[in-house]
Amino acid sequence: MTFLAVKERTLELTLCLLIGGILAACSGEASQTTTLRIPTATHSPTPTLIAKPSITPSPSATSIPSSTHLPTPRGAGLVTPVLTFQLDTPLENLGPGEYLVVLDNEASLREETAIFQFVSWDVQQYGSLFYLVSHDEGENRTGLITGTNGRLWFEVEYPPSLLVLELPTLQTQQFTFGTLCNGVSGSRYFGPDFFVFKCRNDASEYYQNLYFVSNEMLNIVGVSPCLEDLSLRWRGSDALELFSSWGINDYSYMFCVAESPKWNIECLQTPFQVGATSPGGDWVWVAPGGKGDQEPFRGMPLAILPRQCIGVEDENCQLIPVARPSEWKDQESAHFTFPTWSPDGQKLVVIDEACLGGVAKTWIWYYDLQSSSSYKIALFNDCYEFPFTGSFWSPDGKKFVVDGSGVFDQSLVVSLEGSPVSYPLPVKGWVVGTIQIP
């Protein structure tokens, strides 16, 4: 995929990233961590249809920073790394709300350790809030995975485990993989109430099982055979979807679902890649197959379909094509398409990008279900996409984050309405998660 070619996010450390939904999973070639190397060159984005912020961002008020070593996990679990919680803003000064988690590339390079900054969605108040660093000489902590429901999840290499930090109490828990995978495991995929991981033993070339774990109790609640070459994503809080990704010459795709409490995997064949379901559960975006050599490759085709029509052949279950806004139909086409639903389930937001052969453009637009029409948001003279670890929206559903293609590029907050159309986050790097302060 094009986005793999343009995103050289590398640093001399390893960061375990959550993928939400669009990266390949359950593959024998899947990697547990991503090695990041920071290039020396810097690059500034040059948007063309973007209003400049009317407000100059300023950091939130800070006090004298304080360092807190995280306590031993409840349950007397083994913890090899020494983690320090560095507060730039006291927790008691942080109001309830959702904050973005940004890997600060410049600070990480300078300090030679992974530093994650937490920034507010509010352009008038955002700034550095706090971060976590590891002082373990063995570098057994590989990095932040994600944030869910007031928790931060970290990968621990030895003993193979996940360390969970709860906010704002700063209590920790630990989930240990033990002998389940004999030290060989794949990526973790986190939902609101459960996470799933795939693993294999040293003697096997392929991942063998999917393990479903309760986020609250940290106990295994289900096991299913791992299906190779399928990607994973969560639908809601208690359903995992497994799907084959779109290919230009593919005519048939696999779509599977595993639901709580049994977690049995049920599959069917479809003539299109099944995309994410809208938050209300009524619609799903799909990518029809079978284009073949009929026309040049001009990006992934998009359509929507009532969710109950997946696997159903009926005259009332026809695909509804999703096209670009009429003003952009004659412009050069992008190489790939990144769609995501708005939190209210009424808009399918799309990122088209062209980033090869000296071209660097990104078209951001949305399809409105009520009007059955597409509308422009912005055109950038640079490459942007939804973050690797998922699509991050503001709590009010009016703004979302896109990441720049260069490691030093600042991520942007893009508004669906109002002014400014976009503004950069104060931390150079990319967004890897969100965290809620209760």
- Return averaged pLDDT per consecutive 10 residues of the chain, 438 residues in all: 34 30 30 26 35 35 51 60 68 78 84 78 70 58 63 76 79 80 71 86 70 91 87 92 86 94 94 93 90 52 94 89 86 77 95 80 93 94 84 91 79 87 87 80
Dihedral through CA 187, CA 188, CA 190, CA 196, nearest 10? Answer: 120
Instruction: Cite the beta strand spans of 16-122 per DSSP E.
Output: 34-37, 66-69, 83-87, 97-104, 116-120
Q: What is the DSSP letter of 355?
A: -
246 burial type by CB count under 10 A (0-12 exposed, 13-18 middle, 19+ buried): buried
> Burial letters for 320-333: b for 16+ Cβ neighbours within 10 Å, e otherwise?
eebebbeebeeeee
Q: What is the pLDDT of residue 18?
A: 29
CA angle 18, 411, 394 (to 5 degrees): 70
> How long, in residues, is the chain?
438
Q: What is the pLDDT of residue 334?
A: 67
184 burial type by CB count under 10 A (0-12 exposed, 13-18 middle, 19+ buried): middle
Asked if residues 305 and 321 have their Cβ atoms less than 8 Å apart, the reply is no
CA–CA gap between residue 54 and residue 56 (Å, rounded): 7
* Coil, strand or helix at 209: strand
> What's the domain range around 433?
2-437
Q: State the DSSP string of 181-197.
A: STT-EEEEEE-SSEEEE
Q: Which helix (H) or strand (E) holds 423?
A: strand 422-437
3-state helix, strand, coil in the chain (%, to 5): 5, 45, 50
Cis peptide before 59 (omega within 30 of 0): no
Q: What is the pLDDT of residue 308?
A: 94
Nearest CA to 135 out of 84, 171, 85, 170 is that of 84
CA angle 177, 116, 31 (to 5 degrees): 40
**207: CATH:** 2.130.10.10
Q: What is the pLDDT of residue 407?
A: 59
pTM of the complete model: 0.79
Nearest CA to 435 out of 133, 130, 107 is that of 130
Q: What is the pLDDT of residue 206?
A: 67
CA–CA gap between residue 406 and residue 115 (Å, rounded): 18
Domain count for the chain: 1
183 burial type by CB count under 10 A (0-12 exposed, 13-18 middle, 19+ buried): middle
Q: What is the pLDDT of residue 144?
A: 57
Q: What is the pLDDT of residue 82?
A: 63
233 pairs with which residues across the strands?
241
CA angle 196, 407, 66 (to 5 degrees): 75
Residues near 287 by beta carbon (within 8 Å), at least 6 away in sequence: 246, 272, 273, 275, 300, 301, 302, 303
Dihedral sign from CA coordinates of 341, 17, 249, 355: positive
Asked if residues 222 and 288 have their Cβ atoms less than 8 Å apart, the reply is no
Q: Label residue 146 left, alpha or beta by phi (over 0 means left) and psi (-120 to 50 means alpha).
A: beta
CA–CA gap between residue 360 and residue 383 (Å, rounded): 6
β-pairing, 130-134 vs 83-87, is antiparallel
